[in-house]
Chain A
Amino acid sequence: MRLSGSRAIATRKGAGSAGRILRRWLCWVLGGLCVVAPVVKAPGRESDAVGAQNLPAPGAASSYQIDRWETEQGLPENSATAVAQTPDGYLWFGTFNGLVRFDGIRFTVLNPSNTPQLPGAAVVNLHQDRSGRLWVSTDRGLVTIRDHHWRSYGTNEGWAGNYVRSFSERADGDLLVSTFDGHLLEFTGDRFHELPPPPRANRDGYVTHVDEDGRWWAIRNNFAGRWISGAWVETIRLPALTTDSVGCGTARDGSLILIAGRKVEHWNRGVRTASLTLPEPPGGVWSVSEDWAGNLWICTFDKGLCQIRPDGSFLRWTTTEGLSHPSTRCLFEDSERNLWVGTSGGGLMRFKPRRFQVFGTESGFTERTIRSIAADGTNGQWVATYGRGVFHLEAGRATEVPLTAINRGAVYLHSILRDRDHRVWLGALGSGIWQMDSDGIRRIPGGDLGCATVFTVFEDTQGRVWFGGERALGVREAGRIRKFTDDAGATVPGVSAMAEPADGSLWLSNSERVYRLASNHLAEVRTPESRPLNDVLCFLPDADGALWMGTRNDGLLHWQSGHLKRVDRSAGLPADGVHGILEDGLGYVWMTSRRGVTRARKADLTAVVRGDLDRLSCQLLDTADGLVSRDCPGGQQPVAMKGPDGRLWFATLKGVATIDPGAFRLNVLPPPVHIESLQYRPEHPGALGAASTESILALEPPFESRISLPAGSHGLEIRYTALNFAAPEKLRFQVMLEPVEQAWRDEAGSRSTYYHELRPGDYRFRVRAANNDGVWNEQGAALAFAVRPYPWQTRWFIAGIALFLVGLGAVIARWRSQTIHRRSLVAADLERRHQAEVAHFGRVAGLGQMASSIAHELNQPLGAILRNAEAGELLLRQPTPDTEELRAILADIRQDDHRAGEVIGRMRTLLRHGEVRAAEVDSAALIRDVAKLVDFEARSRQAELVLDLSPSLPKVVGDRVQLQQVVLNLLLNALDAVQSCPRDRRRVTLRAFGAEDALVVSVSDLGTGIPPDRLPQIFNAFHTSKPDGLGMGLTIARTIVEAHGGTLTAANGPERGAVFRFTVPIPPAAAPS
């Protein structure tokens, strides 16, 4: 829990100083009015407001967001001695109790007990070299690790000294390493060679550097020089200083940064190129680095962290400014430009450049709930709060305008407006309208308007100021506020949002309805379906006459000449609500909501509305980006505004947030994705739900090229991670298991995917991730593995059984055909029998596809029977069982039993190995029967099956089972065709009617249709477009239809999809007259 700091409260003035504040405030208003120099001079934009003498504001207004990791968060020890980033993207930290690999969320700790290759637990220094090796210097020896391979360096490799003070690497990959006990070693040709000690050497360690010529440098308080032709040559003569006050580092351009006492110098090839004197000595220097923005950072072991900005200003970060410990050791910049600071005693810290600056209690606000903001005409802002009236914010400091003193109590403001005559208008809860101008502050009683609560104040292009009161709309014209009524005498109560599109009309929303005021006539705007537009909270007029409307829960609406389009979550908008909306003039739209501020490209929004784009890519910015609260209020206006300098300002529940959209830098780095482990349970439990106490096995990288899991493996869990260090909690993951899944599916932030059971076979698991700004690593990571089959699941076994069955079938068929021959049946009869065999084969295949639906349909009545039987037992245990109830139970059991019988019956009918039998068939009943069987399959695939049967379908003559087979085949094909369509197109329509002399049945889908070049072959045997299809279904279907004297044709639908149509002739007697 965070409580409001005492710092903020200390700035609050006592009641006696109200008069002084009032005078200052008058100056601001006058300043805005006649450009007299205001009392407070603006020192520039607030982010630069911190001068050389000022400390940065410690809170949300400073330019970095600081996060800490200590032992409580999983560090093995509270120090971070060194930081490195390996090419695979992981961050590595050294601590005195182990080497740590970090993915932004999880720490993996390596120490000698779990990693024997690591000689000691205390990691003193790390270095990532150009060849991909990570050097790890521990208290008990030096090792390298690359691609999971470890190598240790000892005296055999020329190593001398204790542990490493600093590493320097030349472009050719050679290293210069200094040790804490004063050794200097050159690493070249995979061996260390000790260099002779520089002059005045003792047992103290040097800091090393390599210059642009590739020369080694060694620096200490009594020596700063280069290694030239086999000897150390002093290059810089240092003044007499203690060991702690000299340090050095390497600048981004490769030059040497030397700290000596209060002096900071740049040296380039032995020549001093720049020099600066600090206002105070930095303290005991441990390391020096330069970041991407040109800040110099000096880590001291006693006085925190010093920052020297590119303009030369000097800041010191101590525990007051958010450091966890004053003893800092190293600063490392990762590939996303976050700065990582290691401390001795305070763990690890991340300095993340803040996207939003937030002004709250630390800046002088005594109330953090902000409702509305307006520019003050110069460099400041007027800020309306909910409780303590209005504040003036300038140069990062907020000063309260003493409304609460005038009102003798809290002032809850909704809306603020500065009009073209520089008057400031306030709309309040309970205290009506306030006006501030050069004459002072006045409360305008409800009076003519009769409203104590005003939700919005709005100025139109004619200079009229509008007030949305809780009971009526007010307008100020010619210096007087009056209630507004249109020509018909109508007004609108409770207006909370207004806008004026280019056509000169006014749009109003009172959260329940939207109105348009044009030529003094109020007209309600409704949806094309004539529903009211409710919960519209804000408007954004567009240049082309369109109007964007933000709603409370239903995303963004786009209105253009009567056409209404919606952009919401389904189109990729990350939040349901749009509370405030504005454009930054750089092509982006910014929307506020309860979940933060969304930034989206205007062109993308328009493309989504036009249907040219399916999904929006946009960023949801929240506390990870510097907001103190992501909750932005809605229901009044303006909740966001663009300042004259282009900065955007947002009201939030905890302070005023501001961002410079021009300086917004998208994190375009796709996050590296890694699979960290594959876990599985080797044996299958004996029975369903049996206690699962058996062991879990885990495989970890490096993975074998083809992992093979033993038969019966189950409970597979694959853990993975992606590396995004700016806001790892915002990473999104999608996974796909090939070949059983054909599309990516979202996997929420758990960073693992679980498969309870997988059939034997080959699989490829794929995972991909998007970083905090929604940029995907499309490639992701993949892991191929196989689940081995039990002997009876092997292909050989199945093939053997199949061969046996085929052989048996052949023998039987031969015997039968011989029998037939003996009975002298015609060849046509043989042909017909063969056809029946094939039809049966197809039916069994169709049923297999539906096994899971049938199981469900059968379990439904079986479960009910079980429940009823159990209920009956309970009932019989009662002293006086209710016989009526018992009878009802038995009746239900009987009914469910009948139902189960029907399901089995339907299955059997289809499975029966029938021959063509000509009988009169009720076509309507036939179609309904099949539809019932397929309906469940359709629903479980979230597809819709539409039956359109004309009321009196003619009876036909034919084989009922075979005709069912045709319908079943066409329906299942159509369901397969719509499988990958969006949900609203997953519809299959079966239409049947009686034509003049035939029954016509058509099955149409909204899938992708049949490619025209395939149309001619579609009825050929073994032609299939399905990965698991046999290519027999349509052939059989056509054979059957033709055997009945009808036709089966295929065509593409008028708009999309395919249409299969078959006819069966109506016998002359049954034909409709």
Chain B
Amino acid sequence: MNPAAATVFVVDDDPSALRSVTRLLRLSGFQVAPFESAGTFLAELPPDAPGCVVTDLRMPDVDGLALQEALARAGNPLPVIFLSGQGDIPSTVRAMRKGAEDFLTKTAPGNFLVEAIRRALARDERQREDARRISAARALLETLIPREREVLAGVLQGRLNKQIAADLGIHERTVKLYRTSLTRKLGVQSGAELARLVASASLPDFPFGQ
């Protein structure tokens, strides 16, 4: 994915603060989407949008920490940078503990903010790359029919064709046929590649059934 498509989502209930940050970031070359409340942001955020969030910490209704929690609950990995009117220690610690990318005061120099955003976007890109790799590997594994998965399970346990055949109650030749078809489907050349592919799908278990 092209990193230019990444968007900086700015959330601040104070219109003037929102306008000034948006302006600075646009001029610094970012694609920026401003929101006046966490509620509208959460409602309008496309689910897979790459980028990062810059949010005011203290806002009425949904504050910055609640916004971060809502994102985490929805499984959205967007990094969050907090801006605060004052460095309020307990909430800073709380935010950083929950994986806030950065925490800046409103009067911090603009280049601090720009640097923090660059780091956040890089982290987001990295996370998305990992997720893409996992889902690609999962999609490949999804193409296997149940028997092929069973054979794959046996192969990964380092069992011989004839052991797998005995386990599954099928003929050894059939096991070979399944092995060939599954390596073809997964496009791998060796057992090691096969193991790497399955590992990169990072499945808690094999997707039998659903």
Contact = CB atoms under 8 A, between A and B. Distances in A.
A861 B89 contact: no
B75 interface: no
A871 B28 CA distance: 8
Nearest to B14: A860
23 contacts: A1-B203, A3-B153, A3-B156, A6-B153, A6-B157, A10-B169, A12-B169, A369-B209, A369-B210, A386-B210, A387-B146, A410-B146, A859-B106, A864-B14, A864-B106, A866-B106, A866-B107, A867-B17, A868-B23, A868-B24, A870-B24, A874-B27, A892-B20
A557 B55 CA distance: 35
A940 interface: yes
A852 B150 CA distance: 63
A883 to B, nearest CB: 14
Given A688-B87, A885-B23, 4 more contacts: A756-B89, A864-B16, A870-B110, A871-B27
Given A13-B169, A688-B87, A870-B24, A367 B17 contact: no
A895 interface: yes
A855 B166 contact: no
A755 B89 CA distance: 8
B203 A875 contact: no
B184 interface: no
Given A1-B203, A855-B86, A856-B85, A940 B58 contact: yes
B7 interface: no
Given A867-B23, A875-B27, A862 B209 contact: no
Interface string B64-97: 0000000000000000000111111100110001
Interface in A551-606: none
B185 interface: no
A181 interface: no
Interface of B: 14, 16-17, 19-21, 23-24, 27-28, 58, 60, 83-89, 92-93, 97, 105-107, 109-110, 146, 150, 153-154, 156-157, 159, 163-164, 166-170, 198-199, 202-206, 208-210
A6 B169 CA distance: 11
- Listed from nearest, the 8 A-B pairs whose CB atoms lie closest are A863-B106, A856-B85, A369-B209, A867-B20, A870-B110, A6-B167, A859-B85, A874-B27
A755 B90 CA distance: 7
Nearest to A6: B167
Interface string A871-904: 1001100000000010001001001100100000
B208 A369 contact: yes
A317 to B, nearest CB: 22
Given A4-B208, A939-B60, A864 B154 contact: no
A431 to B, nearest CB: 16
A892 B110 contact: no
A827 interface: no
B93 A859 contact: no
A754 interface: yes
A889 B23 contact: yes
B105 A867 contact: no
A861 B20 CA distance: 10
Chain A interface size, under 10 / 10 to 19 / 20 to 34 / 35 or more: 35 or more
Q: Which of A860, A885, A899 has the most CB of B within 10 A?
A: A860
A208 to B, nearest CB: 46
Q: Which of A386, A863, A870, A874 has the most CB of B within 10 A?
A: A863
Nearest to A576: B73
A4 B146 CA distance: 12
B209 A387 contact: yes
B85 A855 contact: yes
A359 B52 CA distance: 45
Contacts of B85: 855-860, 863
Given A14-B169, A386-B209, A892-B19, A859 B86 contact: yes
Contact of B106 (A12, A860, A871): A860
A955 interface: no
Contacts of B58: 856, 939-940
A1015 interface: no
A1073 interface: no
Q: Which of B20, B60, B167 has the most CB of A within 10 A?
A: B20
B167 A871 contact: no
Interface in A1-27: 1-4, 6, 9-10, 12-14
Contacts of A856: 58, 84-86
B199 A1 contact: yes
Contacts of A385: 209
A392 interface: no
